[in-house]
Amino acid sequence: MTETIKYTATEELAELFTQNREMYEEGCPGFMNRVRSDALEKFVKAGIPSRKNENYKYTDLRPVFQNDFSVLPRYVQQQVDLHEMFHCDVPQLNTHLVLLINGWYYGHNRKIGQLPDGVVLGSLNHVAREHPHLIEKAYNQLAGKSDDPIANLNTAMAKDGLFLYVPDNVTIDKPIQIVNLLYAKENTFAVQRNMFVLGKNSEATIVFCDHTLNNNYYILNNLSECFPEEDSRFNFYAVQNMHNGAVNNTHFFADLKARANLHTNTLTLNGGVVRNNLNIKLKGEYAHADLNGLALADEEQHIDNFIAIDHSVPNCTSNQLYKNILDEQSSGAFTGRIHVLRDAQKTEAYQRNNNVLLSETAEMNTKPQLIIDADDVRCSHGATVGRIDEDALFYLRTRGINEKEARLMIMFAFADEVLSQVNIKVLRQRLEELVNRRLRGELGPCQSCSFNRRN
């Protein structure tokens, strides 16, 4: 007989929240606190997802939450200067740099350089209290409709995170780099809540970098709601580089207005269990979403990208390109759900998922889902799971290129198709460099910090 594990984390988390409810509500405006109960109820009802949950068919999150960890309903002062301690590999870029720590806006962030007039960039909690009018109406409008238990758990426990507001007709030239650090004395479950509001015809670029600064067990539950208004352009890059015992759980919700343009690129370099949810709704005509992802995994890493994109109105376009290179015992999953609603004529929606398995034991599950209720649409999807092309390898070797280098060339070429979508040249070059080093096995979860993989 197999021993059955009883997963109790759902109840324990609910209990933990209820007991500390005062602390969770403390310092938050009413509009944040009012949605907590409902969200918690939804979380408890669905429970931490197992494979029985259709959307989590390839990722059982129950074992992940079964570990012991602390939660942080209050900001914890850091004993060290995080700027001193941390140097991310991605910068050397000319960016506005902002640090977050365990889901909280870091209290000693250095002054952010000159931003255009009217731009608000800072702590969500702070802005919610000081400028509630910027947040109140939109807060939880997207996540609140979700039945994802982890998204609901985020809403129940959310206190802080990043907030960005770009007024109409304003362009922020420099990318804004947000470094999400995980650093605590004990195992920690961190909740981070972000909001990006892009006024009409505005433009901004965010680069998220997730890092663990020591080998404790971390679960990051990181939820972003994004509101690109008419004609706005928003680029969202995520570089995920947590250690291989850590859990990264991200949610990105966006409702695009007419002619808004959203570009995302999720680069997963390290991390134990990574689940990225993208929920995109194209709600204004001629809106465009371009969603890309690249994951490089080995050891026992598990990476699951789950995308749901709704074409609600006519003439919108979307494009998904996701790739995985999986080695050793790692596993990957991809779900790309495209829903074209009845009125969304002249939709163009494309999707491609290509995967390379480098070992016999690596595993990939890929599942396109097209639900098309309109008749005048152009949709396509394609998925491949393969191995390194041995003929290509031989061809390169017959020209004098050694096997290792030839393999790297082929893998890099495969990966680079995703990176080539990054439209900021310096960032693209930095990411290419990181991927190259990762493929060569020269990149730990964070190159600059001495902390390396969890054993």
Partner 1 sequence: MLQIKNLHTSVEGKEILKGISIDVKPGEIHAIMGPNGSGKSTLANVLAGHEKYQVTEGEIIYEGENLLEQAPEERAKNGIFLSFQYPIEIPGVSMVNFLKTAVNEHRKHKGQEPLSASQFLKLMEEKKKVVEISSQLTNRSVNEGFSGGEKKRNEIYQMAMLEPKLAILDETDSGLDIDALRVVAKGVNALKSPENATIVVTHYQRLLEYIVPDYVHVLYDGKIVKSAGKELALELEEKGYDWIKNES
Judged by the rule CB under 8 A, the positions of this chain that interact with partner 1 are 389, 391-392, 394-403, 405-406, 409-410, 412-414, 416-417
Residue closer to partner 1, measured from CB, 111 or 404: 404
Considering the complex, what minimum distance in angstroms separates the CB of residue 299 from partner 1?
26
| Cβ-based nearer residue to partner 1, 38 or 416 | 416
- In the complex, the smallest distance separating the C-beta of residue 93 from partner 1, rounded to whole angstroms, is 24
Residue 294 beta carbon to partner 1: minimum distance, rounded to whole angstroms: 13
Nearer to partner 1 (CB atom), residue 3 or residue 391: 391
CB of 201 to partner 1, least distance (A): 35
CB of 411 to partner 1, least distance (A): 10
Q: Which is nearer to partner 1, 147 or 433 (CB)?
A: 433
In the bound state with partner 1, the residue whose beta carbon lies nearer, of 6 and 404, is 404
C-beta of 394: minimal distance to partner 1 in Å? 6
Nearer of residues 85 and 413 to partner 1, judged by Cβ: 413
Our CB check for partner 1 shows the closer of 372 and 401 to be 401
Which residue lies nearer to partner 1 by CB, 52 or 399?
399
Distance in Å, CB of 414 to partner 1, minimum? 6
> Shortest gap between Cβ of 377 and partner 1 (angstroms)?
28
| The three-state (H, E, C) secondary structure of the chain, written as one string | CCCCCCCCHHHHHHHHHHHCHHHHHCCCCHHHHCCHHHHHHHHHHHCCCCCCCHHHCCCCCHHHHCCCCEECCCCCCCCCCHHHHCCCCCCCCCCEEEEEECCEECCCCCCCCCCCCCCEEEEHHHHHHHCHHHCCCCCCCCHHHCCCHHHHHHHHHCCCCEEEEECCCCECCCCEEEEEEECCCCCEEEEEEEEEEECCCCEEEEEEEEEECCCCCEEEEEEEEEEECCCCEEEEEEEEECCCCCEEEEEEEEEECCCCEEEEEEEEEECCEEEEEEEEEECCCCCEEEEEEEEEECCCCEEEEEEEEEECCCCCEEEEEEEEEECCCCEEEEEEEEEECCCCCCEEEEEEEEEEECCCCCEEEEEEEEEECCCCEEEEEEEEEECCCHHHHHHHHCCCCCHHHHHHHHHHHHHHHHHCCCCCHHHHHHHHHHHHHHHCCCCCCCCCCCCCCCC
